[in-house]
Amino acid sequence: MDTQAILDKQRQYLWPNHILYYTDPLPLAHGDGVYVWDTNGKQYLDFFGGILTTSVGHNNPHVVERVREQVGKLIHSSTLYPNENHVALAEKLAEITPGRLQMSFFTNSGSEANETAIVAAQTYTDAREIVALRHAYSGRTSLTMSVTAHSTWKLGKSFSPDIKHAINPYCYRCPLKLSYPSCGVACAQDIEDVIRTTTSGRIAAFMAEPIQGVGGFITPPPEYFELAVEIARHYGGVFICDEVQTGFGRTGEHWFGISHWNVEPDIMTMAKGIANGMPMGNTIAVPEVAEAMAGKGLTLSTFGGNPTSTAASLGTIEALEEEGGPARFAVLGDRLRAGMDRLWEKYPLIGDVRGKGLMQGIEMVTDRQSKEPAPKAVAQLFEETRERGLLIGKGGLYSNVIRIAPPMTVNEEQIDQALEILDYALGVVHETIGVP
């Protein structure tokens, strides 16, 4: 099928609410490592990795081999039958996740993993209410859209009244109009205010992403999670950490993002990068939370923990380890960040650079004084980078944040090449929009 035929059929047969990047949407044909090719044969450096999902690059040989071997043996079994890959992956995740997280329930997506986490927290605590953060993104099911705090990502009409939202630690646009560090991280205190004023006073969980992904890579200050989790636990809640974007070494130094903040979750959810693109979600919990689910009602997941996706996940983790693991991704992340900081010095359209490791964002503004969001500049930057062979992501409530998150198998040369394209493209945007 040629490019036009794909685009025509997309319009004719797929729901129009599928969001497509670029003015002329970009059908992809194949990939190899950090590169993808479109249906016209043009090559791109993929610095968004299928939304932070191709952790070890497209068609990674470890993953391909594991999957190829498995599909020849047994593609599917359902959770009604134990299988070797299922238990081996659960054991591996217990090993690499922080603290006492030990028991897994595998599903097919981040949304499902988060739903599972909420049900587990409610069952374990025998409480209903969940405190989440504004600017969060949690998924596309009704319950996870209730947790999501972006009006643009909340479809439908039925949101759970049990989800309450506290202000988030968005230092660049502090909701309290304070500055770090003199603020004393006052935003964390809002969790207590929300619990005391909008809940029964006893919560099931505090739920948050270590770095808000869709929110625009909003990165909390170092003290935030210790303060937030202490408040949540004081009011009976467990801490659900959503590592769907931040997991598997993405933020450098640690396997999971939350370890930068020195707290141990009671429940952690993961998806996206867990299996390099094969569908999978997982909810891992400390033993007492998992055990509280026993005897409370029947549950299963038809596809959860299937032998093929778990094979892909085992291959992904092996490849990440072989690549040098989180320590190596921290070094690469530092190089990427240093380059982005240089771009900040050069272009006043960049209001903020933030993130950790290989998860770095650029918030674009019309000028640094007003901090007026600049979504048009982002839209133009998208077209300019595409033209020059670089794929990037975007996010933020105002669609004005560029999200950069290449496969973790990226090398120094590819990072430099991406920075060069960004530099050139920002120059063009600057010229078009005018220097404020």
Ligand X SMILES: Cc1ncc(COP(=O)(O)O)c(C=O)c1O
Q: Rule CB under 6 A: which residues touch ligand X? A: 51, 109-111, 114, 137-140, 209, 213-214, 242, 244-245, 271
Give the strands of the sheet with 401-404, arranged side by side: 350-356, 359-364, 401-404, 393-395
The least CB distance from residue 185 to ligand X, in Å, is 22
Q: Which residues pair with 28 in a beta bridge?
A: 38
The least CB distance from residue 137 to ligand X, in Å, is 5
The least CB distance from residue 426 to ligand X, in Å, is 26
- The residue among 213 and 315 lying less far from ligand X, judged by its C-beta, is 213
- The residue among 101 and 271 lying less far from ligand X, judged by its C-beta, is 271
- The residue among 244 and 286 lying less far from ligand X, judged by its C-beta, is 244
Measured distance CA(138)–CA(115) in Å, rounded: 9
- The residue among 278 and 419 lying less far from ligand X, judged by its C-beta, is 278
Measured distance CA(322)–CA(218) in Å, rounded: 30
The least CB distance from residue 139 to ligand X, in Å, is 4
The least CB distance from residue 145 to ligand X, in Å, is 10
- The residue among 51 and 379 lying less far from ligand X, judged by its C-beta, is 51
Taking alpha carbons only, the member of 94, 334, 351 closest to residue 218 is 351
Taking alpha carbons only, the member of 242, 239, 208, 271 closest to residue 124 is 239
Give the strands of the sheet with 390-391, arranged side by side: 28-32, 35-38, 43-46, 390-391
| Residue at shortest CB range from ligand X | 110
Q: CB atoms < 10 A from the CB of 356, how many?
A: 22
- The residue among 109 and 414 lying less far from ligand X, judged by its C-beta, is 109
- The residue among 273 and 339 lying less far from ligand X, judged by its C-beta, is 273
Q: Which residues pair with 197 in a beta bridge?
A: none
The least CB distance from residue 404 to ligand X, in Å, is 15
The least CB distance from residue 143 to ligand X, in Å, is 12
Measured distance CA(46)–CA(57) in Å, rounded: 9
- The residue among 109 and 400 lying less far from ligand X, judged by its C-beta, is 109
- The residue among 214 and 421 lying less far from ligand X, judged by its C-beta, is 214
The least CB distance from residue 370 to ligand X, in Å, is 29
Measured distance CA(429)–CA(434) in Å, rounded: 8
The least CB distance from residue 147 to ligand X, in Å, is 9
The least CB distance from residue 209 to ligand X, in Å, is 5
- The residue among 79 and 109 lying less far from ligand X, judged by its C-beta, is 109
